[in-house]
């Protein structure tokens, strides 16, 4: 596995983000977006297998080495879309493609539907629409979120005496991953503290959402996509576990492909990364 990338920090008007940059400066522009509580290392196996592309693999705000949002701010999914657009502005990219995994795929869909003139292609890995909520549940959901915000100050992050303990915890986390994948994510996602290691991620990321898009909202975004879109469904992943995914994809101009592997099939092992790369190379314009 090649780790030939450049570590950069991007000073945006409202926040500073970190990223790994792969490929030649004149390569076709791609912004790669990871999943919830992951980081730019999510693309450590895949990005080197997509030659000829200029891939900027971001650490989302609050993740990895990127800044946290100010206290009291939220991590609404549409705010990530704004961050990505600002990254494209910094690179001077009027047109670019998006490579998104899980939450990063959802952010990609929102941005592509909202700004079709900016997004050339969408390459999605086991992610499409966010968890939704209907209007009648909104008061309850907001109340739960407000109570969780009040309780956040009394919570502390877990501290692992050894790096390996943190790796094992990540293996069992949301979207369980292989040991090698967990090690890659942990190398970028951990920081030393008294007594061992803890995660760099902002604790606010674990708060419940105060407001969710309705199912109708979500359908409007996927139905409004104008660019070519390719979705990889992991056979042991999260999307195929949802009984509604087949019905959702009916009538949409989205090319869906099933591949063996779990939710992090692009990161778990070399074979999975190669399968994903083979599906996306021609689609994203890699030679």
Residue 200, classed as helix, strand or coil, is: coil
Q: How many CA atoms lie within 13 A of 250 on its CB side?
A: 4
Quote the CA–CA distance of 14 and 123 in Å, as a whole number. Answer: 27
Q: Is 156 a catalytic residue?
A: no
Active-site residue, selected from the candidate residues 66, 102, 137, 203: 102
Residues facing residue 258 across a β-bridge: 233
Sign of torsion over alpha carbons 41, 46, 47, 49: positive
Alpha helices by DSSP H, listed for the chain, are 77-91, 103-114, 138-151, 163-171, 179-189, 215-223, 245-249, 265-268, 270-284
Closest to 104 (Cα-Cα) out of 150, 66, 161, 58: 58
- At 141, is the secondary structure helix, strand, or coil? helix
Residues forming the active site = 102
């Amino acid at each position: 596995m090649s780790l030939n990338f450049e570590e950069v920090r991007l000073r945006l008007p409202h926040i500073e983000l970190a990223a790994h940059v792969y490929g030649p400066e004149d390569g076709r522009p791609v912004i790669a977006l990871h999943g919830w509580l992951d980081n730019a290392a999510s693309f450590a196996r895949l990005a080197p297998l997509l030659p000829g592309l200029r891939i900027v693999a971001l650490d989302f705000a609050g993740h990895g080495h990127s800044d946290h949002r100010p206290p009291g701010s939220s991590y609404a999914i549409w705010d990530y879309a704004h961050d990505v657009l600002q990254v494209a502005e910094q690179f001077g990219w009027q047109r670019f493609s998006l490579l998104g995994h899980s939450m990063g795929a959802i952010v990609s869909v929102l941005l592509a539907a909202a700004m079709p003139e900016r997004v050339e292609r969408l390459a999605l890995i086991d992610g499409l629409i966010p968890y939704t909520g209907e209007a009648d549940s909104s008061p309850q959901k907001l109340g739960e979120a407000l109570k969780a915000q009040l309780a956040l100050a009394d919570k502390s992050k877990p501290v692992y005496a050894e790096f390996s303990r943190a790796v094992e915890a990540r293996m069992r986390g949301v979207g369980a991953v292989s040991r090698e994948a967990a090690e890659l994510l942990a190398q970028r996602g951990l920081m030393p503290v008294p007594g061992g290691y803890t995660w760099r991620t902002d604790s606010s990321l674990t708060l419940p959402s105060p407001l969710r898009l309705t199912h109708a909202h979500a359908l409007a975004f996927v139905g409004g996509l104008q660019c070519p879109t390719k979705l990889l469904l992991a056979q042991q992943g999260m999307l195929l576990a949802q009984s509604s995914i087949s019905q959702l994809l009916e009538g949409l101009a989205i090319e869906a492909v099933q591949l063996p592997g779990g939710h992090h099939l692009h990161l778990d092992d070399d074979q999975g990364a190669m399968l994903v790369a083979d599906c996306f190379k021609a689609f994203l314009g890699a030679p």
